[in-house]
Amino acid sequence: MPPTHELRRERLRARFRADGAEAALVTRLVNVRYLTGFTGSNAALLVTGDHAVLATDGRYITQSGTQSPDVERLFDRSCAPALVRRAVQAGVLRLAFEAHDVTVEDHAALSRLDGAPELVELGHVVEELRTVKDDEEIALVALACAVSDEALRGLCPTVRAGRTERDVARDLDGRMLAAGADARAFETIVATGPNSAVPHHRPTDRTIESGDLLKIDFGALVGGYHADCTRTFVVGREPEEWQREIHDVVRRAQRAGRHALVPGADLRGVDSAAPDVVVAAGFGDAFTHGLGHGVGLEIHEAPAFSQQATGKLEVGSPVTVEPGVYLPGRGGVRIEDTLVVREGGADLLTTTTKDLLVL
Ligand code: ZN
Ligand code: ZN
């Protein structure tokens, strides 16, 4: 029996009990996976005070038995209604549900079921539980980062003027798979020349020209866990002064952001650490996004570094630090690492050099 998942369900019980509910209906698939290990595409989970029922459909009879042997299983294509009926049988009067996942239409249908319990909001409780990872999860994030580093190391010597963004992106994706990734963690960003000034540029058929900045934001997916890394290079010749300048600013800002990753740090304070450096260098208008985000079963998850964030940084949270400076029409630089917060500071998981390499 995998004790990890039962341990996680115990933590969830403590939370919904404290809010006066007798059970929780978990419908977000990634949260079902976190609480049971089940990876199918249709599922929901009912957690009562002393029991757990996983609902999925007939396609997953074997898989659910293998992945989640320690929960009762129920097979029905309409997972949530089946579990609410199960909750009624168990005498549940107050059922917490994931209001950020259930549609208004589905909520109305669940409320109309015979003898339906009172539905109360669970909130983002499972997402909060997920922010602090156990050793096994951190090892998977670290492995995804190592695979990403290896793929980039292989790619760099092959980059030259004349290749297209799309070609380079496909090449890097292939190298991640060859290095052991199950898939890429998200659509790889390869942005060259003026396109590098677009934070989330999608690769095009633009041909790399000598002297271009080349920004690559990518990551591998391993065992369900994501890596996230950005590096910016120059192609073909020594960088121009402005390229060197913005790279230096971003690099210093990124260092300040990494050093702000101490346990107990205020999330909003972490978010400010890097922009302070960018503003002081006179590029305040050119940094237009949050400093970083949690990484785990999702590529973007809690905690998020932003000026709206509340809460504090905790030991065992993998997070990214990714400041950028973008000069529209000219080019941009972003440097992003995935790190894990530890007692003394943060461990770097993406270890590719942050020097402005000439490829
Ligand atoms: Zn990224
Ligand atoms: Zn990121």
State yes or no: pLDDT of 97 exceeds 70: yes
- For range 202-225, the mean pLDDT: 98
Compute the distance from residue 66 Cα to the ligand 1 centre, in Å.
33
State yes or no: pLDDT of 211 exceeds 90: yes
Same domain assignment for residues 60 and 174:
no
Structure tokens given for 143: 């492995």
Compute the distance from residue 101 Cα to the ligand 2 centre, in Å.
23
Compute the distance from residue 251 Cα to the ligand 1 centre, in Å.
15
Domain assignment present for 339: yes
State yes or no: pLDDT of 357 exceeds 90: yes
pLDDT in tens, 11-34: 999 999 999 999 999 999 999 999
| Residue 41: CATH number of its domain | 3.40.350.10
Residue 19 phi, psi dihedral angles, 5° rounding: -95, 5
- For range 254-272, the mean pLDDT: 95
pLDDT in tens, 229-248: 999 999 999 999 999 999 99
Compute the distance from residue 103 Cα to the ligand 1 centre, in Å.
30
Compute the distance from residue 148 Cα to the ligand 1 centre, in Å.
12
Last residue of a domain, one of 130, 146, 180: 130
Structure tokens given for 32: 């079902």
Same domain assignment for residues 323 and 175:
yes
Kindly identify the ligand whose nearest atom is closest to the C-alpha of 321. 2
pLDDT in tens, 324-353: 999 999 999 999 999 999 999 999 999 999
Domain assignment present for 24: yes
Domain coverage including residue 37: 3-130
Structure tokens given for 64: 């659910």
Domain assignment present for 196: yes
Cα 300 to Cα 58, 139, 207, 250, distances in angstroms:
31, 18, 30, 21
Domain assignment present for 119: yes
Same domain assignment for residues 270 and 340:
yes
- For range 253-266, the mean pLDDT: 96
Q: What is the DSSP string of 211-239?
A: T-EEEEEE-EEETTEE--EEEEEE-SSPP
Same domain assignment for residues 182 and 301:
yes
Residue 264 phi, psi dihedral angles, 5° rounding: 90, -10
| Residue 319: CATH number of its domain | 3.90.230.10
Compute the distance from residue 127 Cα to the ligand 2 centre, in Å.
18
Compute the distance from residue 305 Cα to the ligand 1 centre, in Å.
14
- pLDDT band (50, 70, 90) for residue 141: very high
Q: In the predicted model, what is the mean pLDDT of the chain?
A: 96
- How many domains, in total, are found in the chain? 2
Are the beta carbons of 226 and 141 closer than 8 angstroms? yes
Same domain assignment for residues 148 and 103:
no
Same domain assignment for residues 258 and 291:
yes
Domain assignment present for 150: yes
Compute the distance from residue 227 Cα to the ligand 1 centre, in Å.
8
Domain assignment present for 358: no
Compute the distance from residue 187 Cα to the ligand 2 centre, in Å.
12
Residue 207 C-alpha from the chain's centroid: 30
Same domain assignment for residues 153 and 78:
no
Same domain assignment for residues 63 and 84:
yes
Compute the distance from residue 247 Cα to the ligand 2 centre, in Å.
18
Residues 90 and 174: their CA atoms lie apart, in Å, by 50
Q: What pLDDT does residue 3 have?
A: 82
Kindly identify the ligand whose nearest atom is closest to the C-alpha of 334. 1
For residue 13, the surrounding DSSP H or E stretch is helix 3-18
Q: What pLDDT does residue 192 have?
A: 98
Q: What pLDDT does residue 275 have?
A: 87
Compute the distance from residue 343 Cα to the ligand 1 centre, in Å.
25
Structure tokens given for 310: 């509340």
Q: What pLDDT does residue 101 have?
A: 98
- For range 80-99, the mean pLDDT: 98
Last residue of a domain, one of 100, 130, 160: 130
Helix %, strand %, coil % of the chain (to 5): 40, 25, 35
State yes or no: pLDDT of 2 exceeds 80: no
pLDDT in tens, 33-86: 999 999 999 999 999 999 999 999 999 999 999 999 999 999 999 999 999 999
Q: What pLDDT does residue 288 have?
A: 84
Domain assignment present for 221: yes
Domain assignment present for 284: yes
**Closest by Cα among 39, 32, 28 to 54:** 32
Structure tokens given for 295: 């990484």
Residues 220 and 222: their CA atoms lie apart, in Å, by 6
- For range 180-196, the mean pLDDT: 98
- For range 89-109, the mean pLDDT: 98
Same domain assignment for residues 148 and 184:
yes
- In eight-state DSSP terms, residue 157 is G
Same domain assignment for residues 271 and 211:
yes
Kindly identify the ligand whose nearest atom is closest to the C-alpha of 335. 1
State yes or no: pLDDT of 9 exceeds 70: yes
pLDDT-above-70 percentage for the chain: 99
Compute the distance from residue 335 Cα to the ligand 2 centre, in Å.
10
State yes or no: pLDDT of 1 exceeds 60: no
Last residue of a domain, one of 74, 101, 130: 130
Same domain assignment for residues 269 and 187:
yes
pLDDT in tens, 284-322: 888 888 899 999 999 999 999 998 999 999 999 999 999
Same domain assignment for residues 136 and 192:
yes
